[in-house]
């Protein structure tokens, strides 16, 4: 199986890219039970496909988020509950799309290059947030409901038992 996620033409719109990469990710993860391996591979696939500035995981740990597998510049290691976009998404138990990080009160600038952002929470069986996917772009207005839809599918692929 090819793992060349950049093989789609650059004109392919992002929905096509997601539809191309998600089945490949599912196939890559088949039979792998290690959670860190699943998270890491998913983040690498996302970074390869879109070349976003930063893609990564924040894991819920007591009253903090702790950075998990990621691709991109060094980022904050811990984010308190309710702080920044990630902490707010955790608190509100819902995804947040930020078209312009400068307009989001309390945004935590791990990289000065970040201009827009999406954070999508993943829920455990008790409906509590277990981890979040955070994706940062160096362009304004990068993320919309298409990203939300497919990042939720990506979370399903990561957490599903196979
Ligand atoms: N911008 C995030 C912090 C994490 S970095 O973007 C990787 C926030 O405000 O929560």
Determine which residue's CA is closest to atom 1 belonging to ligand 1.
Answer: 108
Token pair recorded at residue 57: 């995981």
Give the per-residue pLDDT at 12: 60
Please give the Cα distance from 102 to 49 (Å, whole number).
26
pLDDT at residue 5 is higher than 50: no
H helices then E strands: how many in the chain?
A: 4, 6
Across the chain, mean pLDDT equals 93
Task: Choose the residue to mutate in 56, 109, 116 for probing ligand 1, maximizing ligand atoms within 8 Å of C-beta.
Answer: 109
Determine which residue's CA is closest to atom 4 belonging to ligand 1.
Answer: 110
Domains and CATH numbers, the chain: 14-159 (3.30.450.40)
Give the per-residue pLDDT at 10: 45
Task: Answer yes or no: are the C-beta atoms of 103 and 85 closer than 8 Å.
Answer: no
Task: Answer yes or no: are the C-beta atoms of 140 and 109 closer than 8 Å.
Answer: no
pTM: predicted TM-score of the whole model, two decimal places: 0.92
- What pLDDT band is residue 1 in, cutting at 50, 70 and 90? very low
Q: Over the Cα atoms of the chain, what is R_g?
A: 15
Give the per-residue pLDDT at 9: 44
Other CB atoms within 10 Å distance of the CB of residue 119:
24
Q: What is the mean pLDDT of residues 9-29?
A: 87
Pocket lining: 72 vs ligand 1, CB cutoff 6 Å:
no
Pocket lining: 66 vs ligand 1, CB cutoff 6 Å:
no
- What pLDDT band is residue 162 in, cutting at 50, 70 and 90? low
110 or 18, greater pLDDT: 18
Pocket lining: 114 vs ligand 1, CB cutoff 6 Å:
yes
């Amino acid at each position: 199986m090819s793992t060349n996620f950049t093989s789609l033409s650059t004109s392919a719109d992002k929905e096509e890219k997601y539809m191309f990469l998600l089945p490949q990710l599912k196939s890559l993860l088949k039979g792998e039970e290690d959670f860190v391996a699943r998270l890491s591979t998913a983040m690498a696939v996302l970074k390869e496909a879109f070349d976003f500035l930063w893609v990564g995981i924040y894991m819920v740990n007591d009253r903090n988020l702790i950075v998990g597998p990621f691709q991109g510049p060094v980022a904050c290691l811990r984010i308190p509950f309710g702080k920044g976009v990630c902490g707010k998404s955790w608190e509100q138990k819902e995804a947040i799309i930020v078209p312009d990080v400068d307009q989001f009160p309390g945004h935590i600038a791990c990289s000065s290059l970040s201009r827009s952002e999406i954070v999508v929470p993943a829920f455990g069986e008790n409906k509590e947030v277990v981890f979040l996917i955070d994706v940062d772009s160096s362009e304004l207005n990068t993320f919309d409901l298409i990203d939300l839809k497919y990042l939720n599918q990506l979370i399903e692929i990561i957490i599903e038992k196979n």
